C-alpha cells in the first residue's frame, strides 16, 4: 500500500498552496477574483414604450442577494408610480446591469435601452 503524500502548505500561511483546492480562501485579486459572484444584485426598474422599441430605465437599486422583501417593496412603489418593467441582475454595477438588460431583453428585437439613471449606453457589439 502506498501512502499519500501530505498536502504541502506555505510555512507562514495556513492552508493548501493550490488556490483551487476546496476550502481555500477566496481570491481577492487577479483572474480568480473576477469569477467571484457579487454579494449584491442590481434591480433595474423602468418601462417599455408602447411600440416596444425602447426600454427606458428610470430607477436602479442595489439589493442584497436573496432579499425578496426589499425587491417587492421597491417594485410596489415604482409600479404605483407608472413603471411596468423590473428585473434583478446578479451584478454589482449599474452599467453592467444596463448591458445585461440590453443583451437579454432588447438586442434580439432591435430595441433600444435608454438609461435615465446614469446615462449608460449599452454596447451593441
Confidence at residue 34, expressed as pLDDT on a 0 to 100 scale = 56
Collect all residues with Cβ–Cβ distance below 8 Å to 34 and sequence separation of at least 6.
Answer: none
On the question of pLDDT at 83 being above 70, the answer is yes
Lowest mean pLDDT among 10-14, 49-53, 111-115: 10-14
Across the chain, mean pLDDT equals 81
pLDDT value of residue 9: 45
Average pLDDT over residues 90-117: 95
Please tell me the distance from the alpha carbon of residue 76 to that of residue 115, in angstroms, as a whole number: 21
How far is the C-alpha of 92 from the C-alpha of 43, rounded, in Å? 10
**Position with higher pLDDT, 121 vs 22:** 121
The domain limits of the chain are 40-115
Q: Is the pLDDT of residue 38 over 70?
A: no
Which whole number is the average pLDDT over 101-123? 95
Q: Provide the pLDDT for residue 54.
A: 97
**Burial (CB count within 10 angstroms: exposed 0-12, middle 13-18, buried 19+), residue 92:** middle
* pLDDT for res 124: 87
The pLDDT score that the predictor gives to residue 35 is 56
On the question of pLDDT at 51 being above 60, the answer is: yes
Amino acid at each position: 500500500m502506498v501512502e499519500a503524500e501530505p498536502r504541502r502548505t506555505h510555512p507562514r500561511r495556513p492552508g493548501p498552496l493550490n488556490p483551487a483546492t476546496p476550502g481555500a480562501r477566496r481570491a481577492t485579486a487577479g483572474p480568480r477574483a473576477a469569477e467571484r459572484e457579487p454579494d449584491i444584485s442590481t434591480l433595474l426598474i423602468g418601462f417599455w414604450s408602447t411600440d416596444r422599441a425602447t426600454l427606458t430605465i428610470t430607477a436602479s437599486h442595489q439589493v442584497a442577494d436573496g432579499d425578496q422583501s426589499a425587491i417587492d417593496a421597491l417594485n410596489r412603489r415604482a409600479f404605483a408610480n407608472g413603471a411596468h418593467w423590473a428585473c434583478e441582475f446578479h451584478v454589482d454595477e449599474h452599467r453592467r446591469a444596463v448591458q445585461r438588460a440590453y443583451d437579454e431583453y432588447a438586442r434580439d428585437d432591435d430595441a433600444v435601452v435608454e438609461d435615465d439613471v446614469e446615462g449608460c449606453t449599452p454596447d451593441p457589439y
